[in-house]
Structure 1
Amino acid sequence: MSQIPKWMADVLPTRTKTLQFLETLAIGTVGGLLFLVTGLPGGLISGAMLAVAAAAMWGRQMAVPAHLTQAVLVMLGILLGSLMSRQLLQHVGAYPITIGLLALATFCTTFGSSYYLQTLHGWDRTSAFLAASPGALSQIAVLAIEKGADMPAIAVVQTLRVIILTAALPLILVAAGLTSASVPTPAMTVASPLGLLGLIGAAVAVSLLLRMMKFPASWLFGAMIGSAVLHGAGWIEGGLPPVVRNIALIGIGTLIGSRFSRMKTGTFLRHLAAGLGSFAIAALITAVFVTIIAWTTNVRFADALVAFAPGAMDAMLALALTLHIDPIFVGAHHLSRFIFVTIATPGIVHLFGRPQEDVDD
């Protein structure tokens, strides 16, 4: 029996690594589907992330191949960029006051929560700022990995915030009578085959360009920019097929969860108080801004609460669609905060975080 050439052996993963990859993907898929069945918005990400993280803390070696990671980041970037429609851009300009307050609220929650993590829990500044950044969980995770921050600690804080919001917010809104519990199912437009090719081509091209420029998280941000330009200009209508969107959401949850591979249960418990306290600070600051908007504008309290909630953009948009909350208002604000966080966070980390050498895997 002939042996595999050395160059091929260096490229192909070993049997052990292949089994680890398959086990990781299987656990992430099962976890995401289980959470989806329960009806939790953003369940694919949260379920995959928690399932893989739990398996990792249980002692299983969770890992995702580098090329699969890049593919997931490109798909996620296309998915996020597809939110950039003409209608959404027009509505962004229609909410100058509330979007301005959202930017201020984002600034306050980030610095308030990070100050809490630094002062009461002794976190370094880079990890504290990234953990305190509201929303944009996947982008923050990628940036944290590249900056060499404390990824397990950040993941605990970010995960707790997403899970608490996606699980508790619907219950609070329905219990308070602020929205209906019935669940509408909106149709989602899929781009034409030619449009999908254009999206993939633009996403990969911009990603490679940013990678050549050593831009942080180039695969994610490049795909998002390429998709956003095509959608914002009206050249392409629709986005990824539902099955591909679901794969991307499960994939990013699996990727984030796999970062717990070296984390023990004690690590999670050690950062649990930090996560709960950080969430409490962010929730308190957000509540102040939501109350101001509810008192001074005609915006419904439920709309303002979901629009300002410091959770993942996809989860909050899913909440808006399933709880009879204005999806355009929520989408415009979460898109604005996503852009703000994407632009501001690297600068904040550079100015206020500890010096780190950027690494582009």
Structure 2
Amino acid sequence: MPTITGAGVARIAATLVLAALGGLLAHGLGLPVAWLLGPVVAISLASVAGLDTRLPPVFRQVAFFILGVQAGSGVSPEAIGQLGLWPLSFAIQMVGVLAIVVVTYLYLRKFVGWSHETALFASLPGALAFVLAAASETRADMRSIIIVQTVRLLLLIGALTPALGWLEGGADVDAVARSHGGGLDDYAILLGISGALAWLGARLGVPGGMMLGALIGSALLHGADLSAVSVPQPIAVPCLIVLGALIGGRLHGIERSALVTLLPISLIAFLIGLAMSALAGAAAVLTLDLGPGKVALAYAPGALEALTVLAFQFAIDPAYVAAHHVVRFMGIAFVVPFLARRAKDAVES
């Protein structure tokens, strides 16, 4: 692990304080999921302004683990009864993902005039690490891909949060995260099982492995009605602030001139993705009798960790939401190497 200097500690502390102030302001304004949305906005602005807002990996690991445990506690025995609907929901979702890729690609290629490789990799919704790794082996414009993908994530959080507040009737989402009563032995079992599965998920390289493993462990206990404890608010809120800072920090290092130039293009690409997801979601709601808020989070094009947290905050079956994002991630990760080879062969020939 690299050594953090005194200046590095000050920079990290400044980032966290700024993120916390953003959360406090959003909370004071009564915004939904304020402790996530506020830090995202605050750190995004700081990153665009040129500040170094990056956080060490340990912050990501701890926050993802705690938030995974919290999200899993939102799974109820009643939610387990809907597992039979998931395969059909996965199928509808993947048709929507294909539509996002095709329509976004056509827009970027035919209307914007981007190269085949750049348009292709910029159109893939999520799995950013795989997409960038594969795109780097081609002649794709990496800067354009990073900006389109990052703006998609930021707009997704900004658009879905108030939309869910409306769909779910403006419920007090902060109340969802309050801990149930329980003894130290209950917390030890919850953290022990969740910790073991989080470690396994990270070791196996599963997408969002730390959070997903913790979520599965917590969901198994709560879904089987073997646990009634959750993460207390004084612990959950700082983790939400860290997650918001991590999301906003994705803009670090992006040139402001490039961001301004590509922002309209990114916005249209985002709207295309949102429209295709909405069509697929409407099909799922109408055919499978699923709640619109639940499907909106599950079918949203990207951000497994953030959307799983939103699912818990709005009390919307986080296991269902996380499962769909993993399926989307795995589908994209599976085809990306093939697409990269095709793109590279086309250029060489």
Structure-2-length-normalised TM-score: 0.73
The amino acid across from 2:82 in the alignment is H
| Alignment counterpart, residue 349 of structure 1, candidates 336, 341, 344 | 336
Does 2:305 match 1:310? Answer: no
The amino acid across from 1:53 in the alignment is S
CA contact (8 A) 1:103 1:337 kept: no
- Displacement of 1:221: 3.5
Alpha-carbon separation, structure 1, partners of 2:337 and 2:70: 28
- Displacement of 1:24: 0.7
CA contact (8 A) 2:294 2:311 kept: no
The amino acid across from 1:31 in the alignment is G
Of stretches 109-118 and 260-269 in structure 1, the one that deviates more from structure 2 is 109-118
The amino acid across from 1:337 in the alignment is H
Rate the CA distance shift 1:317–1:142 in 2: closer, same or farther, 3 A: farther
| Alignment counterpart, residue 237 of structure 2, candidates 222, 246, 256 | 246
Does 2:108 match 1:108? Answer: no
| Alignment counterpart, residue 188 of structure 2, candidates 197, 209, 234 | 197
**Partner SS, residue 222 of structure 1:** helix
Does 2:155 match 1:156? Answer: no
Q: Deviations over 1:222-246 (max 9, x none)?
A: 3334333443444333321122222
**Which residue is equivalent to 1:136?**
none
Does 2:272 match 1:277? Answer: no
Structure-1-length-normalised TM-score: 0.71
CA contact (8 A) 1:82 1:227 kept: yes
- Displacement of 1:251: 1.0
Alpha-carbon separation, structure 1, partners of 2:308 and 2:204: 27
Percent identity of equivalent pairs: 20
**Which residue is equivalent to 1:334?**
321
Structure 2, unmatched stretches of 5+, are: 137-141, 302-306, 343-349
CA contact (8 A) 1:78 1:203 kept: yes
Rate the CA distance shift 1:236–1:152 in 2: closer, same or farther, 3 A: farther
Aligned pairs for 1:78-157 within 5 A: 78-93=69-84, 100-109=91-100, 112-113=103-104, 116-117=107-108, 120=112, 121-122=114-115, 123=118, 125-129=120-124, 132-133=125-126, 140=127, 151-157=146-152
- Displacement of 1:49: 1.9
Does 2:9 match 1:22? Answer: no
Alpha-carbon separation, structure 2, partners of 1:66 and 1:15: 18
| Alignment counterpart, residue 31 of structure 1, candidates 19, 22, 41 | 22
Rate the CA distance shift 1:264–1:191 in 2: closer, same or farther, 3 A: farther
Of stretches 241-250 and 221-230 in structure 1, the one that deviates more from structure 2 is 221-230
Of stretches 56-65 and 232-241 in structure 1, the one that deviates more from structure 2 is 232-241
- Displacement of 1:23: 0.3
Does 2:256 match 1:265? Answer: yes
Of stretches 160-169 and 148-157 in structure 1, the one that deviates more from structure 2 is 148-157
- Displacement of 1:197: 2.4
Cα RMSD over matched residues?
Answer: 3.9
CA contact (8 A) 1:161 1:275 kept: no
- Displacement of 1:263: 2.0
| Alignment counterpart, residue 286 of structure 1, candidates 249, 255, 277 | 277
- Displacement of 1:52: 1.2
Structure 1, unmatched stretches of 5+, are: 1-9, 134-139, 174-178, 322-326, 356-361
Does 2:160 match 1:165? Answer: yes
**Which residue is equivalent to 2:49?**
58
CA contact (8 A) 2:151 2:267 kept: no
CA contact (8 A) 1:143 1:217 kept: no
Of stretches 47-56 and 89-98 in structure 1, the one that deviates more from structure 2 is 89-98
CA contact (8 A) 1:146 1:217 kept: no
The amino acid across from 1:163 in the alignment is G
CA contact (8 A) 1:125 1:354 kept: no
- Displacement of 1:332: 6.9
Q: Deviations over 1:79-120 (max 9, x none)?
A: 333344332121333577556534533443355446645664
Does 2:76 match 1:76? Answer: no
Q: Deviations over 1:122-181 (max 9, x none)?
A: 53645542xx24xxxxxx56777888875554221111122123235656x6xxxxx755
Alpha-carbon separation, structure 2, partners of 1:165 and 1:336: 18
Alpha-carbon separation, structure 1, partners of 2:264 and 2:177: 40
